[in-house]
């Protein structure tokens, strides 16, 4: 495997060798500083994964009553009457003590996560008597400082640190770690050389080895369920005529360590997202890896079916590819990226290390997040490929393009990327660390940043992640090659800033009734609550009616979380709430309100039917909104029925008497009205069998002639028989 000495003038391996033998790994040039970390030599033992910093728990809230509307609440707080607040929160709260000012301290019945505490605070804040509720957080001295010796020791993980002074290229992790260290629900697949079991890397899930060539796999077989790295050392000319000898790179372990090395365990360095999990997918062996193996590995990592391989039980949200080759995106790569994007995975790829103004494949494929690299001073790295497909630049180490008098090893601006390694020159040996340079190292910085973002808001889409990374990127340092006109648009949006990316995540809004159906003239409440994932307090709510509404709507208390309006006569109306937190991050959510008129059942006059006869009526209802009414029976005599379309039928009406029929009609929204009418089954002789009496909603209809003449005092007796009368 050929490795280039980080200069744009370095010689290139022949294209024929690359395309005929391997998909050349975009390996960064490595400089192994030591065989083992001094701490490991001193006998420090591996520690369990529970030494990752635990998420903060909260057991108290700080509540402040509204200055004007909260007098009653203030009195309850002073009397320590906590039943009202417990009812609102739907959980047990105890008023512990009064604080300075007008605030009080509430004790929860159990410790909860900070997200649960913020949700509880938001629920209490919906009460108009409350000015504010917020978790009682434990503060720590600034700034976050992991105790891992490799973090701040020489040469140190400058690439994670806050950009101050000469370190303009740091990714600004310390304040980001105060927001989140990631969580165990976000899985990152690393498609690389596999992994070495390492005392500083323990959140590794079951993976798979997709290297199909036995010679390249270097483990005695082809594809299998063992994703560990047996080493990829090569002899001179082994990867093609003119290729040089190289020791095992342990490249995959290094990449994984950048993302998820344990933190605060006293060993080696820290990872960007130490609480996330890694899915190792081995696709590279001796001399690199084939496209066919890599695309299978990509689909498997995303949870898709791959012939001959078991289904991945841990589909990854993020796939890191620190590899590639020169040339345009192949159809095979593009199809695989389309598939994994459709499955919900975000693909992060390194640009390549040739120092060209062109991006390698698969970074140049549509749908990837292409990453270039910069040096400690924020300048574009001399080896880094640039191109219009680039999304962002992340720390890769080495010398900047415009740097002068730069020596690659540990000079003021030649620092590399510190992460995990192994002492074995060929086969695995002891845990260690290593210093590497390259876009291979830049890509996992972005993958780790996205893992933190998804830990805060798992619902973020690929496009939303891209937008947040672009918007939060820092401007390149003065004098950087990326600011030259010739490179305009070639370096991406700027320098990765993880803290800025996290604080750019918009507040999550909950609207109590996203879609309401109300009656005309009703006072309609528009209630919202919001939590900022980054922990910044929400500072404002602004409700407004959509300009697309057919008539203007006046929103009452529009600049509060709980607005309202008076419903007009009819129509459907849209409303939007805009929420802003103290960092300036904003989000909005929509609510829809339909003003629904009630179907009105038309009245029916008293109906008469001879005992034993059938009465049929077609009931009608009108609806101002044009909704189709559905009829329901409230009270019917025995044997009577009412259909959904309003057909009332009483066959063989009996016994004689006066009956009150009650019916209702409603629309699809459940709104309706009722109506009652009377049916009389009069006393007198019953009609002979087979003679029926019917009426309609228009009134009238034949009735029993004998009963009619008797009722009117006539002495004439008549009987309907076979359609004619006899006198």
Active site amino acids: 192, 251, 440
The answer to whether 347 touches 368, Cβ cutoff 8 Å, is yes
Largest CA distance in the chain: 132
Tell me how far apart the alpha carbons of residues 633 and 641 are, in angstroms, rounded to a whole number. 8
The answer to whether 710 touches 699, Cβ cutoff 8 Å, is no
Tell me how far apart the alpha carbons of residues 191 and 284 are, in angstroms, rounded to a whole number. 8
Q: Which helix (H) or strand (E) holds 277?
A: strand 277-282
Q: 588 exposed, middle or buried (CB, 10 Å; 0-12, 13-18, 19+)?
A: middle
The answer to whether 249 touches 255, Cβ cutoff 8 Å, is no
Beta strands per DSSP E along 318-473: 318-321, 346-350, 368-374, 390-395, 417-422, 431-436
CA neighbours closer than 13 Å in the CB half-sphere of residue 336:
27
Buried residues in 82-91 as b, exposed as e (16+ CB within 10 A): beebbebbee
Q: Give how far the C-alpha of residue 603 lies from the chain's centroid of Cα atoms, to the nearest Å.
A: 54
The answer to whether 351 touches 439, Cβ cutoff 8 Å, is yes
Structure-token pair, residue 669:
């929204």
Tell me how far apart the alpha carbons of residues 314 and 299 are, in angstroms, rounded to a whole number. 12
User: How do strand 390-395 and strand 417-422 relate by DSSP bridges?
Assistant: unpaired
Q: Which residues contact 77 (CB under 8 A, 6 or more apart)?
A: 63, 65, 95, 98, 104
The size of the chain, in residues, is 727
What Rg, from alpha-carbon coordinates, does the chain have?
A: 38
The three-point CA angle 473-475-477 to 5° equals 135
Beta strands per DSSP E along 40-140: 57-65, 93-98, 104-113, 130-135
DSSP annotation of 136 reads -
The answer to whether 413 touches 377, Cβ cutoff 8 Å, is yes
DSSP annotation of 443 reads H
Tell me how far apart the alpha carbons of residues 469 and 503 are, in angstroms, rounded to a whole number. 11
Q: Which backbone phi and psi does 114 adopt, to 5 degrees?
A: -65, -35
Tell me how far apart the alpha carbons of residues 318 and 302 are, in angstroms, rounded to a whole number. 8
713: region left, alpha or beta (phi > 0 left; psi from -120 to 50 alpha) = left
The terminus-to-terminus CA distance of the chain in angstroms comes to 121
User: How do strand 586-595 and strand 571-581 relate by DSSP bridges?
Assistant: antiparallel
């Amino acid at each position: 495997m050929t490795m280039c000495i980080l200069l744009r003038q370095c010689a290139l391996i022949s294209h024929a060798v690359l395309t005929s033998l391997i998909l050349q790994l975009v390996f960064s040039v490595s400089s192994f500083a030591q065989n083992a970390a001094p701490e490991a030599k001193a006998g420090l033992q591996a520690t369990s994964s529970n030494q990752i910093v635990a998420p903060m728990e909260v057991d108290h809230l700080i509540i402040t009553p509204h200055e004007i509307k909260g007098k009653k609440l203030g009195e309850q707080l002073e009397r320590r009457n906590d039943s009202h607040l417990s009812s609102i929160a739907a959980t047990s709260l105890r008023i512990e003590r009064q604080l300075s000012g007008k605030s009080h301290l509430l004790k929860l019945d159990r410790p909860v996560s900070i997200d649960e505490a913020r949700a509880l605070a938001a629920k209490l804040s919906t009460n108009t008597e409350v000015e504010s509720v917020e978790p009682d957080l434990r503060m720590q001295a600034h700034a976050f400082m992991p105790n891992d010796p490799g973090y701040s020791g020489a040469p140190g993980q400058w690439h994670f640190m806050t950009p101050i002074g000469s370190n303009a290229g740091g990714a600004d992790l310390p304040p980001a770690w105060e927001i989140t260290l990631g969580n165990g629900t976000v899985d990152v697949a690393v498609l690389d050389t596999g992994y070495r079991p390492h005392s500083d890397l323990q959140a590794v899930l079951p993976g798979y080895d997709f290297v199909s060539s036995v010679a390249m796999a270097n483990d005695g077989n082809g594809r299998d369920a063992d994703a560990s790295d047996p080493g990829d050392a090569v002899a001179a000319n082994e990867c093609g005529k003119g290729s040089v000898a190289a020791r095992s790179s342990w490249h995959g372990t290094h990449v994984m360590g950048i993302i998820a090395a344990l933190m605060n365990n006293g060993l080696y360095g820290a990872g960007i997202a130490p609480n996330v999990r890694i899915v190792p997918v081995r696709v590279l062996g001796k001399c690199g890896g084939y496209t066919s193996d890599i695309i299978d590995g990509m689909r498997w990592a995303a949870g898709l079916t791959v012939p001959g391989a078991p289904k991945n039980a841990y589909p990854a949200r993020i796939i890191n590819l620190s590899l590639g080759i020169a040339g345009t995106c192949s159809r095979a790569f593009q199809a695989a990226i389309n598939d994994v994007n459709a499955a919900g995975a975000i693909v992060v790829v390194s640009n390549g290390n040739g120092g060209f103004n062109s991006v390698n494949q698969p970074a140049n494929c549509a749908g990837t997040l292409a990453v270039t690299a910069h040096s400690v001073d924020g300048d574009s790295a001399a080896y880094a490929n640039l191109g219009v497909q680039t999304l962002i630049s992340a720390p890769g180490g080495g010398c900047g393009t415009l740097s002068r008098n730069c020596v690659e090893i540990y000079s003021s601006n030649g620092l590399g990327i510190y992460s995990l390694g192994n002492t074995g020159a060929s086969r695995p040996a002891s845990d260690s660390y290593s210093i590497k340079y390259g876009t291979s190292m830049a890509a996992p910085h972005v993958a780790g940043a996205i893992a933190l973002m998804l830990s805060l808001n798992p619902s973020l889409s690929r496009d939303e992640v891209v937008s947040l990374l672009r918007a939060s990127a820092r401007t390149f340092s003065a004098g950087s090659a990326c600011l030259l006109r010739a490179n305009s648009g070639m370096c991406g949006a700027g320098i990765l800033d993880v803290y800025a990316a996290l604080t750019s995540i918009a507040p999550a809004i909950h609207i109590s009734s996203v879609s309401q159906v109300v009656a005309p003239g009703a006072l309609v409440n528009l209630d919202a609550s919001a939590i900022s994932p980054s922990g910044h307090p929400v500072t404002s709510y602004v409700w407004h009616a959509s300009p697309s509404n057919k008539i203007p709507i006046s929103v009452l208390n529009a600049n509060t979380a709980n607005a309202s309006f008076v419903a007009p006569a009819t129509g459907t109306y849209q409303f939007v709430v805009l929420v802003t937190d103290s960092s300036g991050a904003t989000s909005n959510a929509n609510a829809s309100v339909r003003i629904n008129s009630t179907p009105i059942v038309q009245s029916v006059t008293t109906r008469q039917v001879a005992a034993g006869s059938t009465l049929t009526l077609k009931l009608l209802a009108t609806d101002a909104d044009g909704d189709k009414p559905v009829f329901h029976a409230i009270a019917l005599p025995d044997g009577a029925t009412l259909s959904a379309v309003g057909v009332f039928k009483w066959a063989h009406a009996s016994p004689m008497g006066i009956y009150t029929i009650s019916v209702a009609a409603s629309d699809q929204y459940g709104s309706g009205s009722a109506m009652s009418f009377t049916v009389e089954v009069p006393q007198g002789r019953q009609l002979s069998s087979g003679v029926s009496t019917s009426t309609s909603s228009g009134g009238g209809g034949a009735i029993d002639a004998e009963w009619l003449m008797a009722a009117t005092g006539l002495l004439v007796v008549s009987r309907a028989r076979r359609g004619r009368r006899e006198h």
